[in-house]
Amino acid sequence: MTATILFAARPDRWAEYEPHLRAALDAHGLDYRLGPAFPPEEVDYIVYAPNSEVQDFTPYTRAKAVLNLWAGVEHVAPNPTLKIPLARMVGGGLTEGMVEWVTGHTLRHHLGMDAHIVNPTHAWAPVVPPMASERPVTILGLGELGLACAQALRGLGFPVSGWARTPKEVAGITTHHGPEGLTAALSGAQVVILLLPNTPATENTLNAETLALTAPGAFVINPGRGTLIDDDALIAALDSGQIGHATLDVFRTEPLPPDHPFWAHPKVTVTPHIASETRPGPASAVIAENVRRGEAGAPFLHLVDRDAGY
């Protein structure tokens, strides 16, 4: 039977994704209809972005799955009208992009590059960093993205610790879990990277108490979710010198409001949610594989645990 696949994302993304999706679906030899508009009762799969106009899933009575184009699902998983399986995006260029962004900003802070990139006084002021082996890095969140970043930084010689809500074992990485493990993971960390999902349990993971555990002058790098950090506590820690600099890619309100204190703070770098973007080519391969599985009656990949929120 022909599978009807609805592309439900911003209209400008359709032209970008269409050739990649067709190529990936054709590679599996699937019989399908693909487009941005079909009667809801005819749709079998919804290729979805949470900023789509589709917010009520009730009319999609035949649909087998919602295949999210984003890694984050906090804006779709709680939707009470969504009764069918939801798969998040894993891969799709997200991992490679995140590793590059996190590694770049970690090295930027580790090497003290800002002192030479922005040097209006033309001061001859050598910045000699410690060796990577002397710079402890902690990654909060050991999912697909966190693990990839941990392994990349470990490969550069940084001693890497990781924290997750549940126990994990990773070769070459010191791992912690649970509330006590969070204290151990943050204690003495000189670089803290946040890659946790946005759930009630992770909100304000970095707060006044946990920020105080880090090494004085530590760097905070957040490409995860804006809710992971207590903004006021972070600003206070920056002002006191407990945190030396914060590079933030995600925020509680996006775009970040012009009057937010992060914009003007001399120890904050704001980037506009660019750490990791889904790439149409590799993302289409992930989507096509899940459609293939659905048509074959096989389990979908990367299904979201609604109770956990990710």
Annotated active-site residue in 20, 225, 245, 302: 225
- List all residues 6 or more positions away from 232 whose beta carbon is below 8 Å from its beta carbon: none
pLDDT in tens, 57-93: 999 999 999 999 999 899 999 999 999 999 999 988 9
pLDDT in tens, 212-269: 999 999 999 999 999 999 999 999 999 999 999 999 999 999 999 999 999 999 999 9
User: How far does CA 158 lie from the centroid of its chain?
Assistant: 21
Q: Are residues 28 and 131 both part of a single domain?
A: no
Q: Answer yes or no: 273 catalytic.
A: yes
Q: Are residues 68 and 117 both part of a single domain?
A: no
* CATH code of residue 33: 3.40.50.720
The answer to whether residue 13 is domain-embedded is yes
Exposed (0-12), middle (13-18) or buried (19+): which is 272, by Cβ within 10 Å?
Answer: exposed
The answer to whether residue 309 is domain-embedded is no
Residue 118 confidence (pLDDT) above 90 = no
Q: Are residues 163 and 230 both part of a single domain?
A: yes
Q: Are residues 260 and 292 both part of a single domain?
A: no
Annotated active-site residue in 75, 273, 292, 293: 273
Show the CA angle centred on residue 261, arms to residues 257 and 262, nearest 5°: 85
Q: Are residues 285 and 250 both part of a single domain?
A: no
Q: Are residues 154 and 83 both part of a single domain?
A: no
How much is the CA Rg of the chain, to the nearest whole Å?
A: 21
Q: Are residues 157 and 252 both part of a single domain?
A: yes
Count of domains observed in the chain? 2
Q: Answer yes or no: 292 catalytic.
A: no
Q: Are residues 147 and 242 both part of a single domain?
A: yes
Q: Are residues 159 and 205 both part of a single domain?
A: yes
- List all residues 6 or more positions away from 212 whose beta carbon is below 8 Å from its beta carbon: 237, 242
Beta-bridge mates of residue 60: none
The answer to whether residue 211 is domain-embedded is yes
Does the predicted model carry a pTM greater than 0.85? yes
- Domain holding 10, by residue range, is 3-92+278-296
